[in-house]
Amino acid sequence: MGSLSGRRIVLGVTGSIAAYKSALVVRELVKAGAQVRVVMTPGAKEFITPLTLGTLSGQAVHSALTEDRDSGTWTDHVELGLWGDVVLVAPATAHTLSGMVEGRGDSLLLTVLLSAKCPVVVAPAMDRDMFTHAATTDNLETLRQRGVHIIEPDTGELASGLSGKGRMAEPDRIRQELTEWFRSQAPLMGYRALITSGPTREPIDAVRFIGNRSSGRQGAAIALELARRGMLVDYISGPSSIPTDHPGIRRVDVETALDMKAAAEAAMAHALPDAVIGTAAVADVRPATTISGKAAKTDLPDAISMVPNPDILAGINAVVSPECFKVGFALAHGNGQEAALRKLEAKNCDMIVLNSITDKGAGFEHTTNRVDFVYGPDRIDSFELKTKEAVAEDLANEVQRQLLLRAPLKQSGR
Ligand SMILES: Cc1cc2nc3c(=O)[nH]c(=O)nc-3n(C[C@H](O)[C@H](O)[C@H](O)COP(=O)(O)O)c2cc1C
């Protein structure tokens, strides 16, 4: 697995003589496992062709805000900004850096930078005197203060014939520094999580179903917290309106337990997770048959015969690697410790997060939760009532501790 495996990088290329090196930057990033989408300024096309960068990245290259005047098509800069885990501008000209500071939107790249929700990294490249000019120094300082990470240029011979600081960092240093920087921002970069969340709906007919009161709020909070720490999260959600917008979260929305199982299997066929968090309130049973269309009131059966649904979490836990940290959720009525211990074994989990609907403010339909982490009969850690986001942080701390113990070498770049 490459050090940037699965990362989505929007690479901005601007009109510097160093733009020819962006071909090598693309190669370095792709070799490290990243997906790269290139956005060029019109100026960059004077130095290197979209064909080169498109071929190396395996993706269409974008440079214009509008694509085809006749058909009215345009490049969705907002979509590009949201797609990336990071926007890397390499090389970054003095012109584009000043455009970033001013918040200008006169190139596709600048509009992507304005709409990006993800972090931004720049590798400036310019002549010595341009680099040391007060305007450039001030612009870089402003960007640094806004949280932009700057990959310092090298000192040496410059294309102008001058010698000094301003030469773009070599592509392998850009890749290394990007990896390092990612890791400092995101201690769990390089690890994957599989999270099931929300309720399932088991259809009786086309409009009626058997469901439950799970909102998906706790699972969403966990997914967001793990993604913020750098994990790639496969998030499989039953019907839930709770948003999970983060470039590190690959969300699949499903309805039934069988759909959820299939989606989990599809995610695992792609890559096995390092942590599994089964927060979904999966219906234990489903109607044995589904009435096609909407049954008239008078045609509704007096009784519905049910068949058991598969145990999704047990199925997942049976195929993951031994190092994988496996967490289940148990919702109890009253003291559920015995049920949690049974679940721990039956589902082959390492830990059960136990919450009780009889605890005030806990469980479904609340923004707060009160949980116990159940590892076994001799270890149960109890927590106070807190927001679901704070519970997600407690759980993420435990996931982090476990993963760095179980599979330390997976941490990216190690
Ligand atoms: C041969 C040549 C080399 C250039 N190299 C650089 C450079 O390394 N860094 C820089 O900031 N500008 C450089 N420029 C100037 C930029 O191309 C110019 O400022 C342009 O407007 C940048 O636009 P962009 O940032 O939208 O790509 C160069 C211009 C030419 C003609």
Question: What's the average model confidence in pLDDT over 319-345?
Answer: 93
φ and ψ at 304, to 5 degrees?
-115, 125
For the CA of 110, the nearest atom of ligand 1: 26
- ∠ CA 179-185-186, rounded to 5°: 80
User: Could you give the domains of the chain?
Assistant: 8-185 (3.40.50.1950), 192-410 (3.40.50.10300)
Mean pLDDT in the chain?
Answer: 92
The candidate with the shortest Cα–Cα distance to 279, out of 191, 369, 205, is 369
Supply the DSSP symbol for 400: H
pLDDT at 163: 83
pLDDT at 360: 78
Q: Is the pLDDT of residue 397 over 90?
A: yes
Say how far apart CA 160 and CA 408 lie, in whole Å: 46
User: 377 C-alpha vs ligand 1 centroid, how far in Å?
Assistant: 66
**Which carries the bigger pLDDT value, residue 164 or residue 343?**
343
Catalytic residue at 335?
no
Ligand 1 within 6 A of 44 CB? yes
For the CA of 95, the nearest atom of ligand 1: 25
Least confident of 119-123, 296-300, 303-307, 406-410: 406-410
Share of the chain above pLDDT 90, in %: 77
Q: How far is CA 202 from CA 55, 235, 264, 295, in A?
A: 46, 20, 17, 15
User: 93 C-alpha vs ligand 1 centroid, how far in Å?
Assistant: 6
Ligand 1 within 6 A of 48 CB? no
Q: Is the pLDDT of residue 337 over 60?
A: yes
Share of the chain above pLDDT 70, in %: 96
Say how far apart CA 131 and CA 125 lie, in whole Å: 8
User: 60 C-alpha vs ligand 1 centroid, how far in Å?
Assistant: 23
The residue whose C-alpha atom lies closest to atom 16 belonging to ligand 1 is 15
pLDDT at 332: 85
pLDDT at 398: 95
| CB 246, CB 231: distance < 8 Å | no
Say how far apart CA 35 and CA 120 lie, in whole Å: 16
Ligand 1 within 6 A of 15 CB? yes
Tokens of 282: 């999966």
φ and ψ at 282, to 5 degrees?
-80, 130
User: 17 C-alpha vs ligand 1 centroid, how far in Å?
Assistant: 7
Q: Tokens 């709409």, residue? A: 115
Angle between helices 94-102 and 134-145 (to 10 degrees): 50
Helix segments in 146-295, DSSP class H? 171-185, 217-228, 257-270
For the CA of 99, the nearest atom of ligand 1: 25
User: 127 C-alpha vs ligand 1 centroid, how far in Å?
Assistant: 10
Give the CA count within 13 Å in the CB-facing half-sphere of 91: 28
Question: What's the average model confidence in pLDDT over 353-379?
Answer: 86
Q: What is the pLDDT of residues 190-236, one digit of tens each?
A: 899 999 999 999 999 999 999 999 999 999 999 999 999 989 999 99
Question: What's the average model confidence in pLDDT over 341-357?
Answer: 94
Q: How far is CA 223 from CA 65, 90, 220, 280, in A?
A: 33, 31, 5, 12
Question: What's the average model confidence in pLDDT over 256-277?
Answer: 97
Q: Is the pLDDT of residue 317 over 70?
A: yes
For the CA of 107, the nearest atom of ligand 1: 26
Question: Could you say which of 212, 309, 335, 348 is catalytic?
Answer: 212
The residue whose C-alpha atom lies closest to atom 9 belonging to ligand 1 is 126
Ligand 1 within 6 A of 130 CB? yes
Q: Is the pLDDT of residue 414 over 50?
A: no
Q: Tokens 């008078």, residue? A: 298
Q: Is the pLDDT of residue 413 over 50?
A: no
Residue 349 — pLDDT band, cuts 50, 70, 90? very high
Least confident of 49-53, 55-59, 185-189: 185-189
Radius of gyration over alpha carbons of the chain, in Å? 25
Q: Tokens 């697995």, residue? A: 1
Q: Is the pLDDT of residue 334 over 90?
A: no
Mutation choice for ligand 1 from 17, 21, 113, 129, CB with most ligand atoms inside 8 A:
17
The residue whose C-alpha atom lies closest to atom 2 belonging to ligand 1 is 17
> What's the whole-model pTM score?
0.61
Ligand 1 within 6 A of 94 CB? yes
